[in-house]
Amino acid sequence: MVGVGLNRLVTAKLVEWFSEVSMADSATVGGKGSSLGELYCNLTTAGVRVPNGFNVTVEAFQQFVNTEVPASTWDNVRNPEGVEDIREQAIACTTLSDALEICLIGADPSDHLNLHGRASLARAIVRDTPVPEIIRQAIITAYGQLCEEYGQGADVAVRSSATTEDSAEASFAGQYESFLNVSGERAVIQKWRQCVASLFTERAISYQLEKKMNPLDSAIAVVIMKMARSDKACSGVMFTIDPDSGHRGVIHIASAYGLGELVVQGSVTPDTYTVWKEGLRRGNFAIVHRVLGSKDSRMVYAHGTVNEVTTTSVPLEERRAWSLSHQECRQLAEMALAIEEHYGQPMDIEWAKDGVTDQLFIVQARPETVHAQASSAKLIRYSMDDSLIKKLKKGGLVLTTGQAVGKRIGCGKVRSYRSYEEVLEGKRAIRKRLTEGVRIEEIPHENRVFEEGDVLVTEMTTPDWEPLMKQASLIVTRKGGRTSHAAIIAREFGIPAIVGCAGAMELENLATVTGSCAEGDTGFLEPTRIFGLHQSIAAL
């Protein structure tokens, strides 16, 4: 655990405002917090608006994990599934950091149930360990100052900002928790602790292990910033590079109604706009392509319930309308261009339109991760035997189509799941049969859970799905666009994906299909009838 057992300066600050930090402070306030500070301090004069806010620093996290775990904490912490002996070992520990180390040592990302149990125990311990008073008071004081600027009970976003996220090497897209429309001192403190707990989710631990990182070396800060009221307007993401081809001459904008979480998750298919950078610089009309998304749902503030946000349907008339005007699209593109020029590299940006003030805000900016790592010294060619090309063109049956992610082709057996809980239930059933002495070879293929090379089909993906995603030959989702979680992670893993695929959940389970993302913007799913695809990689 970062900082555990090391001498720390007593004067280290528990809170740092955006106006006090820059990219040089990522070790103190994490990737998200340092980038927001960089934007707030340096790009406001260039027309880039960022809501004000503060960071609860890594020092606060370190003080929290070094506190003693009171005996009362264990009253609500149960034995985790699959690793029953670990709880007793953790109880014997004095500090929270020691208990977390017991939970994580020996974690194996390939054993989903074991990792699920270890991660569940770690989060439960964090959630039930009291927050030290010095941290509580620091958060209360800073939140009070934010309320002086924006009004009593200011609505804020509470967002995780880990020291390992938002680099050009790894996106950590959605790995840690964030909470929207949080109001009041007690709620803000509670959400801060939940952000800390999200450092120990199954998905975050698995992702770090896959990236050859040690989860015990991670630390987390938390951003607390004023909400932009996009629940009354629209929001989305921007890439200052084409997210599929890597073309650096365009800006890709995705936009949907309501809070931006649905666009990031991929649970809504957004409007998309392609803006030509050089035309933008010349002052010309620069929107060279746009696609109307279904935008069938939006996330808004929840009133009178225990939840902060809720999802509602969008009326048909609004779905058929563009969510951004030409002028708004241009303003966003100009902000994106200013951000890219400041950072000197392609960027992945989240934005929001405030429906009360009609102003556009930037709420996150991080380096683009996929094409930043791609080698420009390799040319990959795909080819097929001529006889098989003729067979493919002879009356082929297209099962369904969607938006292509990447330029590859994948094939395998369909494994369709409506939720990740279905996967866990299947793994529990398999484990039970194995403990009863049944060999895996004796279990019929249709009764097994997702296996290497299968085609993953689901409504949408979240970070929980990533252990399965990296094993897939192809990923198909019913919802989402080219900037959704499924699309971003598929690119990072180098796996073809077809997103926003309306007929995805109607595919026959265990049917063998081929998905092609090598034919332009549209991805095609067909019954697998041919083989003979060859790949060659040449050095340039």
Task: Specify the pLDDT at position 385.
Answer: 60
Of 212-221, 319-328, 395-404, which has the strongest mean pLDDT? 319-328
Q: Tokens standing for 540?
A: 């340039």
pLDDT of residue 153: 94
pLDDT above 70 (res 259): yes
Is residue 424's pLDDT more than 80? yes
Residue 414 β-bridge partners: 455
Task: Say whether 112 sits in a helix, a strand or coil.
Answer: helix
Closest CA to 362 of 352, 354, 371: 352
Please provide the DSSP assignment of 364-385 as one string. Answer: EEEE--HHHH--TTEEEEEEE-
The residue from 247, 303, 485, 534 that is catalytic is 485
**Residue scoring higher pLDDT (171 or 506):** 506
At 17-26, the pLDDT tens digits run 999 999 999 9
CB-based burial, 224-237: b 16+ in 10 Å, e otherwise? bbbbbbbbbbbbbb
To the question of pTM greater than 0.85 for the whole model, the response is no
Query: Going by C-beta distance under 8 Å and a sequence separation of 6 or more, which residues neighbour residue 102?
Result: 86, 89, 90, 93
* 126 CB neighbour count, 10 Å cutoff: 24
- Residue 339 pLDDT: 98
Question: Taking residues 282-294, what's their average pLDDT?
Answer: 93
**pLDDT digits over 302-319, tens only?**
976 667 999 999 999 999
Query: What integer is the mean pLDDT of 110-126?
Result: 87
Distance separating alpha carbons of residues 305 and 139, to the nearest angstrom:
25
**143 vs 12, residue with greater confidence:** 143
Least confident range from 205-209, 321-325, 415-419: namely 205-209
The pLDDT > 70 percentage for the chain reads 88
Q: Which residue has the higher pLDDT, 215 or 507?
A: 507
Residue range 350-359, pLDDT digits in tens: 999 999 999 9
230-256, pLDDT tens digit by residue? 999 999 999 999 988 889 999 999 999
Which of 73-87, 168-182, 184-198, 340-354 bottoms out in mean pLDDT, i.e. has the lowest?
168-182
Task: Give the mean pLDDT of 360-371.
Answer: 90
* pLDDT reading at 221 higher than 70: yes
CA dihedral 482, 486, 487, 491 (to 10 degrees): 180
380-537 maps to which CATH number? 3.50.30.10
pLDDT(214) > 90:
no
Structure-block tokens of residue 539? 């050095």
CB 417 within 8 A of CB 464: no
Categorize the per-residue pLDDT at 539 as very low, low, confident or very high, splitting at 50, 70 and 90.
Answer: very low
The CB density around residue 13, as the number of other CB atoms within 10 Å, is: 16
Model confidence pLDDT, tens digit, residues 481-514 = 888 889 988 988 889 999 999 889 999 999 999 9
CA nearest neighbour of 363 among 20, 25, 32: 32
Q: Which residue has the tokens 């996220």?
A: 165
Mean pLDDT in the chain? Answer: 87
Residue 289 annotated among the catalytic residues of the structure = no
Rounded Cα gap, residues 227 and 396, in angstroms:
50
**Percent of the chain residues topping a pLDDT of 90:** 58
CATH 3.10.20.90 assigned to domain 15-64+130-226? The reply is: no
Find the mean pLDDT for residues 416-429. Answer: 89
Q: Report residue 383's pLDDT band, with 50, 70 and 90 as the boundaries.
A: low
Highest mean pLDDT, choosing among 167-181, 354-368, 377-391: 354-368
Note the pLDDT of residue 38: 98
Burial (CB < 10 A; 0-12, 13-18, 19+), residue 115, is: buried
Highest mean pLDDT among 294-308, 473-487, 515-529: 473-487
pLDDT at position 321 is 98
At residue 430, the pLDDT reads: 86
Instruction: Say if residue 5's pLDDT is above 50.
Output: no
E strands present in 210-284: 220-226, 234-239, 250-257, 271-276
Asked if residues 464 and 441 have their Cβ atoms less than 8 Å apart, the reply is no
pLDDT of residue 230: 98
Indicate whether 329 pLDDT > 90. Answer: yes
Query: Which fold is adopted by the domain 230-367?
Result: D-amino Acid Aminotransferase; Chain A, domain 1 (3.30.470)
Cα–Cα distance, 163 to 221 (Å, whole number): 7
Name which residue leads in pLDDT, 430 or 167: 430
Residue of 193 and 441 predicted with greater confidence: 193
pLDDT at 392: 52
DSSP state of 412: E
Confidence at residue 418, expressed as pLDDT on a 0 to 100 scale: 92
